[in-house]
A and B are shown apart, each in its own frame.
Chain A
């Protein structure tokens, strides 16, 4: 028995040798080349051309502004029903009161981050994307950059709107603060940065796990379940909380700081570390694995 394929001799050529005319290459061939700025433009087109993406971003904005006005309104009514002692204990974070919507918008942006990449894997689009950019990493980093900037801008706009609306309501009872007050600008920027971090972690998890369901479960576990577990840890172990994303975000947006919360700068470093590690792991697997 032989495994020699039929007719595989080197001399074998197509029987009908077509006269191959010299084809004029297209004019754009002289300038065509994959560059980072072009991949960024492509990723911007991708981000803005999906209805689901635009709806999710709109939802994040509406929720942030909505709760930013609603919670202060409830606070005002509670204020009128409280004793002076309760007022002193419970109404200490006027800035945070108008940032309550951030809890919801971090879910929306986080899930969006997941979908940006798992949507490509589930539809097969990823093969087109990586076929166009075979070095792959520009795709991931351009996606992260475009999405990071877009979600930071969106979060900042919605947080500022929520802040001005919420503080105007709180002014009725004399609790409102202005943007010029100490810590306020840092808290507002920090809140937007925290939401952006969760979005990028969603993108990283989506790249690592590839399936939409698994990635969203992992992301929600990271932002909601992990803080519960660190809260249950005894003694010094509890300080691990400072180093999870939730702890880092807390450090960024807290005005009245407990001893177990990091400085804002420390919180920023924690969040940046999560972004670097998350996207680093995503980059490693994206280059290594078959698409």
Chain B
């Protein structure tokens, strides 16, 4: 288990991680999602003691990383950039890492086989493709057969086959009871790989919920309605606290009500309906919308990372983990 408590990291006047509190459970793949510059890599660097937190702490299985006598056997790490000397062979690289804590040579051969690099073990890493570099990084992370894995953007640079390989590997490792913490800026990838999501923007926690909830709430209750009496229908729905937006002469986009409820209300009011379609918001759209205000280099002036106002206004969303109507209204404002 990984636990962050009020974790804050500032570089000079720039706050990279801002009061993050979360925990990562064993047994499932937890996605760490956020746009570039959201503080994902910094959080991971602090977790393995490369950077010192300004405030707060992050522990693995209840202990600070530097307190482990054999850290590689507790936590396996893949950092975003290649962390390998390009002049050394893959085998010698892994051997040198293994030797620091008495991990046997045969384990080096094992992990090379696990990631499919046995044939190029003697080749210098400088000649590796990005995908091979990522595989070597995974091998390095698996060297100590750790119960916790922290992987920063592991699918970067991989071809579709490689991406599927990582996905399967991570799910297998999680099923063995390991804690798997994987960062990505790709929502679609996380939807396929992860079970739980921790979403950050501008260093702040935006969402902490299961992927299932995230998808359900994101694709939420936006309903496309077509009616010859669209205006009258809008009045009816507005009385029910729905948010209606005219999208054409006879069409409305409705937030806050289910298609079923809209149909019933229209029937009661005697308004004919020609179309009633719940619309799926794509995951990428949902992710973009909830992190829009948290994207770092958007409009020059730094803003506070925040939840779209309507997401909280929709009622109870903070507690039940729903992003509610925020997905669409945020787009309306922007």
Contact = CB atoms under 8 A, between A and B. Distances in A.
Contact of B85 (A13, A16, A28, A120): A120
A278 to B, nearest CB: 23
Interface string A15-48: 1111111110110110111110011011101100
B163 interface: no
B15 interface: no
A119 B28 contact: no
Contacts of B243: none
Contacts of B56: none
A119 B85 contact: yes
A6 B199 CA distance: 9
Interface string B47-82: 011111000000000000110111111000101011
A21 B176 contact: yes
Interface in B171-185: 174-178
A35 B69 CA distance: 9
A89 interface: no
B319 A9 contact: yes
Nearest to A123: B85
A10 B83 CA distance: 35
A132 B72 contact: yes
Nearest to A130: B50
Contact of A28 (B22, B51, B99, B102): B102
B306 to A, nearest CB: 6
B7 interface: no
A291 interface: yes
A253 to B, nearest CB: 34
Contacts, number: 210
Contacts of B83: 123-128, 131
Nearest to A8: B208
A49 B89 contact: yes
Given A34-B101, A127-B79, A2 B306 contact: yes
Contacts of A26: 73, 107, 144-145
Nearest to B50: A291
A232 interface: no
Contact of B205 (A8, A29, A123, A131): A8
B207 interface: yes
A87 interface: no
B71 A34 contact: yes
A134 B68 contact: yes
Nearest to B304: A3
Interface string B27-42: 1101000000000000
A181 interface: no
A229 B290 CA distance: 62
A7 B209 contact: yes
B135 interface: no
Interface in B134-180: 140, 144-145, 147, 174-178
A42 B145 CA distance: 19
B92 A6 contact: no
B318 A33 contact: no
B244 interface: no
How many residues of A sit at the interface, in one of the four size bands? 35 or more
A131 B71 CA distance: 8
A5 B204 contact: yes
Contact of B28 (A1, A3, A18, A126): A18
B87 A51 contact: yes
Of B65, B77, B145, B317, most A-chain CB atoms within 10 Å: B145
Nearest to B174: A18
Contacts of A15: 195-196, 210, 212-213
A16 B213 CA distance: 11
B129 interface: no
B82 A124 contact: yes
A132 B312 contact: no
B307 interface: yes
A33 B212 CA distance: 40
A34 B144 CA distance: 12
Contacts of B228: none
Given A123-B84, A132-B101, A8 B195 contact: no
B8 to A, nearest CB: 14
A50 B87 contact: yes
A150 to B, nearest CB: 15
Interface in B9-46: 21-22, 25-28, 30, 45
B104 interface: yes
Contacts of A12: 208-209, 321
A212 to B, nearest CB: 13
29 contacts: A2-B306, A2-B318, A4-B307, A4-B312, A6-B208, A6-B209, A6-B311, A7-B318, A7-B321, A14-B25, A14-B28, A15-B210, A16-B195, A18-B28, A19-B27, A23-B147, A32-B101, A35-B102, A38-B100, A38-B102, A39-B100, A46-B96, A51-B87, A123-B86, A127-B50, A127-B83, A131-B49, A132-B97, A133-B71
Interface of A: 1-9, 12-23, 25-26, 28-29, 31-35, 38-39, 41-43, 45-46, 49-52, 119-120, 123-135, 290-291
Given A4-B312, A34-B101, A43-B96, 18 more contacts: A3-B306, A3-B307, A6-B311, A7-B318, A12-B321, A18-B27, A21-B177, A22-B177, A28-B103, A45-B96, A49-B93, A123-B85, A127-B45, A127-B50, A128-B84, A132-B71, A132-B100, A132-B101
